[in-house]
Structure 1
Amino acid sequence: MLSLSMIVRNEAERLERCLHSVAGFVDEMVVVDTGSDDGTAAIAASCGASVHHLEWPGDFAPARNHALDLVRGDWVLVLDADEWLRPEARAPLRALMEPPQALLINLLRQEVGAAQSPFSSVSRLFRRHAAIRWSRRYHAMVDDSVAALLEREPHWQVLACAEPALVHEGYRPDLLAASGKAARLRQAMEAELAARPGDPYSCAKLGALEVSQGDHARGIALLEEGLARVGAGSPAERYELLLHLAIARSPGEPAAAAALYRQALEVPVEERLTLGARLNLGALLLRQGALEEAAALTADVTRLCPELPLAWFNLGLIERQRGRLPEAIAAYRQALALAPQQADAQRNLAAALLLAGDIPGARDGFRRAIALLERQGQPQQALALAQQAGALVRLDA
Structure 2
Amino acid sequence: MERIDVQLGTRSYPIIIAPDLLDSGQEWLAQLKPHRTLVITNDVVAPLYLERTCTLLRQAGKLVDTLVLPDGEAEKTLATLDTIFSRALSLDLGRDCALVALGGGVIGDMVGFAAACYQRGVSFVQIPTTLLAQVDSSVGGKTAVNHPLGKNMIGAFHQPELVLMDTRTLSTLPEREFAAGMAEVIKYGILWDGEFFQWLEAQQQALKAQQPEALIYAIRRCCEIKAEVVAEDETEQGVRALLNLGHTFGHAIEAEQGYGVWLHGEAVAAGMMQAALLSHQLGWLDDAEIARIRALLQAFELPVAGPDNMVAEQYLPHMRRDKKALNGQIRLILPRTLGRAVVTADVTEAQLRTFLHDL
Q: Higher strand proportion, which one? A: 2
Fold conserved between structures, TM > 0.5: no
| Larger relative contact order, structure 1 or 2 (CA cutoff 8 Å, min sep 6) | 2
State TM-score, norm by structure 1.
0.31
State TM-score, norm by structure 2.
0.33
